[in-house]
Structure 1
Amino acid sequence: MRDFSWKYFMMTGDVDAYLLYKEVAARGEQTVAGTEPDEQEEAAE
């Protein structure tokens, strides 16, 4: 999703695509840092 939103932003200059890219990147950092909500634990069960 991150690659798609970045490529779409680069082709169109659409600000919403850039904001989506930043949001996905921020959520990815949270997941790596282990600060993701308990939803992952529930899915693992």
Structure 2
Amino acid sequence: MLDFTWKLFSQTGNIDTYLLFKELERETQEQASDSTYHLTERDYHVL
């Protein structure tokens, strides 16, 4: 999905498409961060 929105933005220059891209990028990074935390907590019993 990120690739599609970036390609669409680069072809159109539409600022709304760029803002959507940045929002999706932020959500993707947050999900990756949450997954890492949960794995660490479960696998290593971090308090």
Q: TM-score range by the shorter chain?
A: 0.7 to 0.9
User: Normalising by the residue count of structure 1, what TM-score does the alignment of the two structures yield?
Assistant: 0.72
Q: Which runs of 4+ in 1 moved over 2 A?
A: none
Q: Looking at secondary structure, tell me which structure has more helix per residue.
A: 2
**Higher normalized contact order (CA 8 Å, seq sep 6+, divided by chain length):** 1
Q: What is the aligned-residue identity percentage?
A: 40
Structure 1: 5+ residue stretches without partners: 36-45
RMSD, matched Cα: 1.2
Aligned length: 35
Segments of 5+ residues of structure 2 without an aligned counterpart are 36-47
